[in-house]
Amino acid sequence: MYETILLPTDGSTASLIAADHAGSLAALADSTVHVISVADGRNRFNSPSSGIAPDVWKNAEHEHAVSATENAIERMPDDIDTEQTITEGIPHESILEIATDESVDAVVMGTHGRTGLDHYLVGSVTERVVRHSPVPVITVRESAE
């Protein structure tokens, strides 16, 4: 049923907990886990007064994405096949594009549980993926423990 599981990661605690769940599901279903991290191409600090040059922002985002995928893959059981993708773009759009183009069977991703003003200002990548995904999405909430 689940031949390929998509695991988006941003390197957060919530996404690492989701990696544990994806690894367990993959072990049960003999699945491949496709780990993706999106280097957010939107430099919110790219203005004359902000001080972060576009190439510095892009390099930092790429390095963070590589680290996030490597950390998630390290959490997979040894016998699980993994694929790694680093892409640049708007996170929810890139995740949905890969979910569609790569014919994944499910998405497993963490959620930070933001509420109120923080949720309104930052938004939720997970929420957008849940609303528009062509496949089932398993969300894993970051625990306070």
Q: Is the sign of the CA dihedral 51, 57, 63, 68 positive or negative? A: positive
- Unique residue bearing structure tokens 């959620």: 111
| Per-residue pLDDT, 122 | 43
- Does the reported pTM lie above 0.85? yes
The whole domain housing 10 covers 4-141
Residue 49 CB partners (closer than 8 Å, separation 6+):
none
Q: Which two tokens stand for residue 3?
A: 């031949």
3-state helix, strand, coil in the chain (%, to 5): 45, 25, 30
| CATH classification at residue 110 | 3.40.50.620
Q: Identify the pLDDT of residue 58.
A: 83
What's the total number of domains in the chain? 1
Query: How far, in Å, CA of 73 to CA of 23, rounded?
Result: 9
Calculate Rg over the CA atoms of the chain. Answer: 15
Pair 30, 2: CB distance under 8 Å: no
Q: Which residues of the chain have pLDDT under 50?
A: 47, 49, 117-122, 144-145
